[in-house]
């Protein structure tokens, strides 16, 4: 069902095999959502490689475009002069990764969470609805991707950043999603790639 929704939005949904990780933060984790868990500030301090930073990034995309490299676990906001602001992210686990071209269609602060029926079927212990707040798995902000069920959002599980654990959404620590939310307007182009292009 999720794949069907995404295909309708001109996105390719496909399972990805696990590549041999070159760094510790690329290892997939077997983690379930933890509604209600509130991380302490120390947990939200990412390893240096995953922290928000300006990096060299060659692209023909216009400044402001978001480019997501799922295999690298990074989200880039294109800047002028071959630079980008890079964020460490958590991505979809095996079988829930996808690629495509979308736009940010809306934004929300402390969004509510209503797990779709497919997620409830896989994880029946999840709540059917959870109001926005610090313990919500959607985190502090959400940027909605096209007409799909997918979002860029915060998380109450900062330890999952750099890993493949989600049902297809892209998660950032709350400080990073707030920063991204403040930079990115509705209508922003989002490119999701499985592997970097040569």
Q: pLDDT tens-digit profile of 156-183?
A: 899 999 999 988 999 999 999 999 999 9
CA distance 12 to 101: 9
Give yes or no for a contact between 173 and 158, defined as CB atoms under 8 angstroms apart. yes
The answer to the question of residue 92 being in a domain is yes
Within a domain: 40:
no
Q: Tokens standing for 27?
A: 């290892």
Kindly report the pTM of this predicted structure: 0.78
pLDDT of residue 33: 56
Nearest one of 124, 126, 54 to 85, comparing CA atoms: 54
Q: Is residue 154 a part of any domain in this protein?
A: yes
pLDDT digits over 33-43, tens only? 555 566 666 66
183 in any annotated domain = yes
| Domain assignment of residue 113, given as a range | 2-12+49-193
Average pLDDT, stretch 57-77? Answer: 97
Q: Looking at the 3D structure of the chain, how many domains does it have?
A: 1
With respect to residue 41, please indicate whether it lies within any of the assigned structural domains.
no
Q: Is residue 22 part of a domain?
A: no
pLDDT range class, residue 134, cuts 50, 70, 90: confident
Whether 13 and 2 have beta carbons less than 8 Å apart is answered as: yes
- How high does pLDDT run on average in the chain? 81
Residue 91: give its domain's CATH number: 2.40.440.10
Nearest in space to 108 (alpha carbons), one of 65, 75, 139, 137: 139
Catalytically active residues, by annotation: 153, 169
Least confident of 7-11, 59-63, 137-141: 7-11
* Distance between CA atoms of residues 186 and 59, nearest Å: 21
**Residue 121, domain member (yes or no):** yes
For the chain, the distance separating the N- and C-terminal CA atoms, rounded to the nearest angstrom, is: 33
Cα angle: 93, vertex 34, 170; to 5 degrees? 40
pLDDT of residue 124: 86
69 inside domain: yes
């Amino acid at each position: 069902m999720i794949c069907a929704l995404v295909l309708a939005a001109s996105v390719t949904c496909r399972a990805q095999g696990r590549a041999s990780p070159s760094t510790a933060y690329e290892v997939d984790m077997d983690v379930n959502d933890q509604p209600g868990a509130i991380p302490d500030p120390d947990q939200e301090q990412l390893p240096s490689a995953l922290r928000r930073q300006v990096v060299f990034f060659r692209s023909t995309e216009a400044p402001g475009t978001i480019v997501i490299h799922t295999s690298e676990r990074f989200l880039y906001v294109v800047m002028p002069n071959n630079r980008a602001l890079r964020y460490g992210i958590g991505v979809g686990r095996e079988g829930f990764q996808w690629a495509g071209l979308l736009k940010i269609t809306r934004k929300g602060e402390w969004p509510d969470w209503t797990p779709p029926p497919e997620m409830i079927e896989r994880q029946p212990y999840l709540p059917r609805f959870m109001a926005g707040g610090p313990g919500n798995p959607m985190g502090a902000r959400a940027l909605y991707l096209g007409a799909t069920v997918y979002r860029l959002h915060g998380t109450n599980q900062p330890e999952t950043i750099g890993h493949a654990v989600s049902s297809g959404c892209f998660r950032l620590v709350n400080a990073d999603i707030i920063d991204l939310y403040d930079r990115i307007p509705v209508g922003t182009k989002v490119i999701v790639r499985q592997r970097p292009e040569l």
